[in-house]
Amino acid sequence: MTEQALNRHQQHRSKPWGKQVLAALLKRHSARIGLIWIGILVVIATFSPFLASSHPLYMLVDGKVSSPLLAHLSAQDWVWLAAFIFTVLLAKWSRPFWQKLLLWLGLVAVSAVVANTLASPPTLIIYEQYREMQAAGELDQVIYAPIPYSAKDYLRDYANTGVEAPLEATERTHWFGTDENGADVASRMIHASRIALGIGFIATGIALVIGTIIGGLMGYFSGIVDIIGMRLVEIFEAIPTLFLLLSFVAFFGRSIYMMMVIIGITAWSGYARYVRAEFLKLRQQDFVQAAVACGLPLRSILFRHMLPNGLAPLLVATSFGVASAILAEATLSFLGLGLIDDPSWGQLLNQAVQSSTFNWWLAVFPGGAIFMTVFAYNLLGEALRDAVDPHTNRSRRA
């Protein structure tokens, strides 16, 4: 058989399973709605400094062109932008998914190191200076972001600012009102979308990796490994996540990364159960036995022959897991134990009821965002369950 003939046959390639599931998923309206919302959130999170910032994007002072916004971009901003660009670039690359994922993680890690060494935004930030310069007529030309307030811009130059309802102030425009410190709610929500997305993905990612490895080993080896593993699962399921988070916050201070790790290492037990059950079932399947009989190494049997076949329930559980991680962070922030200065949706919710009056805009907008995001992930999970379930595709069979 010649090379040419082989290439000709390659044109008859059928769609791999992943693409089939994706196609079945995109046929469903609920999945589309969920994906569109998550997509919007990703774009907002990536470009949040360009959407809401007190620093002008472009300004002309005494014939000198400058961009304070770009100068004030932090290392974190650069990493988000880099990750977004890598995602777009890698999406077009025809390689197996796990190779792309590993490369993406590598590139993001490298860009994080580079950004942290190279990016040095000024540590002293004075938000008022631009408004003062504009008032004094020093700015010849200026372009602001669509929402000209940073998340931590407490509008000190206006004095005595506090909670204001949407569009209440006459000299400023706050579409979603301001919070108790006088910061723009819309701006804080935009910047908080990073935390919502980040905590969902990273916490669930950690849980997924731990759960898959432990569950896979339990399911494949069974016996004593299974017994020890299951006891470990039961121990971890007995730990109240919220209580653990509260104690860690009390002892070690508030850190978003610590929260991600704690949610991750307490949530893996569910995934481990799923993977274990799938592997126990798959172990007896003929193609796995045939793989053993071919002398394939354990790594290949576990990750090439068993894992992809047991992935379906895991995918569904993952999308619900992301939703619950977001809720956990929101709960913590609502209780006032989240981040202090950094924006978070839960923290805004907290302020809605803390003051003597009920500030509806502090409840409706962040609450709506949490609701929409959790709902989007749940819609996606539900649609995934339908897409990977073979029974729903069997109607055409006689």
Minimum separation from the CB atom of position 393 to another protein (A): 11
Nearer to another protein, 250 or 292 (CB): 292
Regarding 396 and contact with another protein (CB under 8 A), the answer is yes
Instruction: Please state, in angstroms and rounded to a whole number, the distance separating the CA atoms of residues 184 and 294.
Output: 64
Give the largest CA-CA distance in the chain: 83
Structure tokens at 287: 């193609």
Please pick, from the candidates 94, 117, 123, 395, the single residue that binds another protein as defined by CB under 8 A: 395
Q: How many residues bind another protein (CB under 8 A)?
A: 31
Ordered strands of the 64-66 beta sheet: 64-66, 58-61, 139-143
Nearer to another protein, 120 or 300 (CB): 300
Minimum separation from the CB atom of position 20 to another protein (A): 9
Nearer to another protein, 289 or 355 (CB): 289
Regarding 9 and contact with another protein (CB under 8 A), the answer is yes
In three-state secondary structure terms, 360 is helix
Nearer to another protein, 3 or 62 (CB): 3
Please pick, from the candidates 10, 94, 123, 357, the single residue that binds another protein as defined by CB under 8 A: 10
Q: Would you say 338 and 347 are in contact if contact means Cβ atoms under 8 Å apart?
A: yes
Q: Would you say 384 and 316 are in contact if contact means Cβ atoms under 8 Å apart?
A: yes
Minimum separation from the CB atom of position 1 to another protein (A): 5
Give the per-residue contact string, 153-192, with another protein (x = CB under 8 A; - = no): ----------------------------------------
The DSSP code for 58 is E
**Residue 142 carries which side chain, given as an amino acid letter?**
V
CA-nearest of 82, 88, 70 to 106 is 82
Nearer to another protein, 148 or 216 (CB): 216
Residue with tokens 């593993």: 229
Minimum separation from the CB atom of position 310 to another protein (A): 10
Q: Would you say 188 and 179 are in contact if contact means Cβ atoms under 8 Å apart?
A: yes
**Residue 134 carries which side chain, given as an amino acid letter?**
Q
Q: What are phi and psi of 64, to 5 degrees?
A: -105, 120
Regarding 16 and contact with another protein (CB under 8 A), the answer is yes
Minimum separation from the CB atom of position 273 to another protein (A): 22
Regarding 398 and contact with another protein (CB under 8 A), the answer is yes
Nearer to another protein, 35 or 277 (CB): 277
Instruction: Please state, in angstroms and rounded to a whole number, the distance separating the CA atoms of residues 210 and 188.
Output: 33
Q: Would you say 337 and 320 are in contact if contact means Cβ atoms under 8 Å apart?
A: no
Minimum separation from the CB atom of position 92 to another protein (A): 22
Give the per-residue contact string, 275-314, with another protein (x = CB under 8 A; - = no): ----------xxx-xxxxxxxxx--x---xx--xx-----
Minimum separation from the CB atom of position 174 to another protein (A): 52
Minimum separation from the CB atom of position 397 to another protein (A): 9
Q: Would you say 269 and 212 are in contact if contact means Cβ atoms under 8 Å apart?
A: no
Q: What is the signed CA dihedral for 226, 228, 230, 231, rounded to 10 degrees?
A: 160
Q: What are phi and psi of 91, to 5 degrees?
A: -60, -30
Please pick, from the candidates 4, 13, 93, 160, the single residue that binds another protein as defined by CB under 8 A: 13
Buried b (16+ CB within 10 A) or exposed e, 189-219: bbbbbbbbbbbbbbbbbbbbebbbebbbbbb
Q: Would you say 162 and 180 are in contact if contact means Cβ atoms under 8 Å apart?
A: yes
Minimum separation from the CB atom of position 65 to another protein (A): 56
Nearer to another protein, 167 or 290 (CB): 290
Nearer to another protein, 52 or 306 (CB): 306
Minimum separation from the CB atom of position 13 to another protein (A): 4
Give contact residues for another protein (rule: CB under 8 A): 1, 3, 5-6, 9-10, 12-14, 16-17, 285-287, 289-297, 300, 304-305, 308-309, 395-396, 398
